Amino acid sequence: MKYIRKIALWLKTEFANKETFALFLVVLAVMYSPVWGGYLLYALFHWKWCFVMATGYLVFWAGPFTPFFPVCVAVTLGVRRLIVRLMKRGGRKTPETKEKKPPETKEKKNS
């Protein structure tokens, strides 16, 4: 049980900024694209094989014993690390450096 809590806290720190959470939503949309794409094709053209394919994909990957969400988390964190690495190489500020503010220093005036 304590390992699950450690993993949950780690994920909470990794997904703390809005950019990472938005990236996770994009990864979810891309990973579920065969489902919504299949249902869209069925709605437009009434192709039964699209409905069957989308339902089969959804039933398999939405099941409790499939690694769908761990794969989505891994892809999200991998893409984020790649983006951070490319931004550092290009000399741009990364999302992690934007959040960190330098400590404020108070200067005393000598009178």
Residue 60 covered by a domain: yes
Q: pTM for the complete prediction?
A: 0.72
Residue 110 covered by a domain: no
What are the angstrom distances between the C-alpha of 59 and each of 52, 65, 68, 81? 10, 11, 12, 31
Domain span holding position 88: 14-96
pLDDT at residue 7 in the model: 86
User: How would you write the pLDDT of the chain (111 residues) with one tens digit per residue?
Assistant: 788 888 889 888 888 889 999 999 999 999 999 999 999 999 999 999 999 999 999 999 887 788 998 999 999 999 999 999 998 888 777 665 555 555 566 665 565
Residue 75 covered by a domain: yes
Contact, 34 vs 53, CB < 8 A?
yes
Residue 21 covered by a domain: yes
Residue 6 covered by a domain: no
Name, in order, each residue with C-beta under 8 angstroms of 52's C-beta and a sequence gap of 6 or more.
none
Tally of structural domains, the chain: 1
Residue 91 covered by a domain: yes
Residue 101 covered by a domain: no
DSSP 17: S
pLDDT at residue 106 in the model: 60
